[in-house]
Amino acid sequence: MPIKIGVVGYGTIGARVAEAVMKQPDMELVGIAKTTPDYKAKTAISRGMKIFIPENSVESWKKAGIKVDGFIEDLVREVDVIIDATPKGVGKANSEMYKKEGRVAIFQGGEKKDLVEATVVAQVNYDEARGKRMIRVPSCNTTALSRISWFFEREYGVERIIATIARRAADPADKKEGIIDNIEFDPIKPPSHHGEDVRTVLKNLNIFTTAIKIPTTHAHLHLINVKLRKKVSREEILDALSEERRIMLVSSEDGITTTSDVFELSRHLGRPMNNIYENVVWVESIHSEGEWVYLAQAVHQEAIVVPENIDAIRAVASSLDAESSMNTTDRTLGIVRGRI
Ligand SMILES: NC(=O)C1=CN([C@@H]2O[C@H](COP(=O)(O)OP(=O)(O)OC[C@H]3O[C@@H](n4cnc5c(N)ncnc54)[C@H](O)[C@@H]3O)[C@@H](O)[C@H]2O)C=CC1
Ligand SMILES: O=C(OP(=O)(O)O)[C@H](O)COP(=O)(O)O
């Protein structure tokens, strides 16, 4: 029996997760919940998705001439697992509805850790989601930091990580936030929340993060400094990273030097919605000095959490182990590892 999924919130994240669910052999997308009768609703219907709406929006959908399949509450009753991809804080409000119907719910990084029983990144702590009713997938930055931190911790042991995050100011489709003509050290008093968020996944990790907000929309960029528990050569790191799941290695030798090159790469890879699900690490950025290793990685904020949502569904609603789940997810989404 396929796992029945409902996606509540069909924006940057929700639309991508819904599309990914439809590619899973063991899942059925029962429908998506949307508040606005717009082009996204029309394209969702053309892709065979059912639409569920808030009860107080019937008139606006009728006026738009878009036929719907029921109310959000109906969707919640029909599914096994809810993916809540609503704006920050709305998930918390929706959680009462999910609890009332006894549904398992997976939230996103904008929700606070106190709302959930676990924060899960599949490569790191997939099993922590077992038997849980309310979990979250951390934000894009935390997901990327957790993956690369886990790699270093598992392979060599980590004494300290210091990471600087250059955060995109807005998503390409954002009309409200727009990009700003300045660079903002945000928060102005470090550390940023990311280190604490990574510790909801990788407990006790000694990580300190700062963040700057920059005028771009394509991706975030991380500058990562890791003090390992032993000396490791650049070559060893590069060889090991080449085998690491969900780490894509790129190089200036291939003409990839900027986040817009990575964005363009996603198009040449034929990725839906320009999705880059992987941490994108520059080969040339990897540098080793004794126990210290440095590297730079780009993070496609709109897509990196998509495979994590798919694996989180199996972690809470199937008996599949982490490796089997990630193998299916990576195969169906065309996720690569190593040098492109
Ligand atoms: N945009 C990004 O770069 C990333 C966002 N996230 C997190 O994912 C979550 C969703 O963020 P986005 O997709 O960017 O937001 P978004 O604003 O693009 O999409 C949210 C969607 O939910 C809809 N919505 C609002 N209230 C609703 C309700 N009560 N019921 C159903 N739908 C409702 C909105 O109309 C919108 O279509 C947030 O927690 C955010 O922090 C995580 C990683 C990256
Ligand atoms: O940057 C992000 O998460 P973060 O707050 O963990 O850095 C996500 O892309 C969400 O960012 P937003 O809160 O600007 O939509």
Enumerate residues lining ligand 1, CB below 6 A.
8-14, 33-36, 85-88, 90, 108-111, 139-140, 171, 301-302, 305
d(CA 254, CA 264): 12
Q: What residue numbers does the annotated binding site for NAD(+) cover?
A: 12-13, 110, 168, 301
39-48: long-range contacts at Cβ-Cβ below 8 A with a sequence spacing of 24 or more?
A: 40/10, 40/15, 41/10, 41/66, 42/66, 44/10, 44/15, 44/18, 47/19, 47/22, 48/22
**Is residue 333 within 8 Å of 307, Cβ to Cβ?**
yes
Which candidate, 123, 119, 124, places its Cα nearest to that of 107? 119
Name the DSSP class of 80.
S
pLDDT score at 137: 98
Q: What residue numbers does the annotated binding site cover?
A: 12-13, 110, 139-141, 168, 194-195, 301
**Is residue 168 within 8 Å of 180, Cβ to Cβ?**
no
User: Is 66 annotated as catalytic?
Assistant: no
Q: Which residues does 253 contact at the CB level (< 8 Å), separation at least 6? A: 283
Nearest CA to ligand 2 atom 5: 139
Domain residue limits, the chain: 1-136+304-329, 138-297
Which candidate, 46, 8, 18, places its Cα nearest to that of 272? 18
Q: What residue numbers does the annotated binding site for D-glyceraldehyde 3-phosphate cover?
A: 139-141, 194-195
d(CA 239, CA 147): 17
Nearest CA to ligand 2 atom 12: 170
DSSP string computed for 115-132: GSSEE--HHHHGGGGTT-
Q: Which residues does 95 contact at the CB level (< 8 Å), separation at least 6? A: 84, 105, 107, 115, 134
1-136+304-329 belongs to which homologous superfamily? NAD(P)-binding Rossmann-like Domain (3.40.50.720)
CA 78, 82, 83, 88 dihedral sign is positive
d(CA 27, CA 1): 8
**Is residue 220 within 8 Å of 165, Cβ to Cβ?**
yes
Q: Which residues does 236 contact at the CB level (< 8 Å), separation at least 6? A: none
Question: One of 17, 21, 140, 201 is an active-site residue; which one?
Answer: 140
Nearest CA to ligand 2 atom 3: 139
Query: What tokens does 325 get?
Result: 């789940």
Name the DSSP class of 283.
G
- Averages of pLDDT over runs of 10 residues in the chain (340 residues) are 98 98 98 97 98 97 97 98 97 98 98 98 98 98 98 98 96 84 95 98 98 95 98 98 98 98 98 98 98 98 98 98 98 96
Helix residue ranges, H only, the chain? 12-21, 39-46, 58-64, 72-78, 90-100, 122-125, 140-155, 193-198, 234-242, 259-268, 306-317, 322-333
Helix residue ranges, H only, 191-299? 193-198, 234-242, 259-268
Q: Which atom of ligand 1 is nearest to the CA of 14?
A: 13
For domain 138-297, give the CATH number: 3.30.360.10
pLDDT score at 176: 84
Pairing of strands 27-33, 51-53: parallel
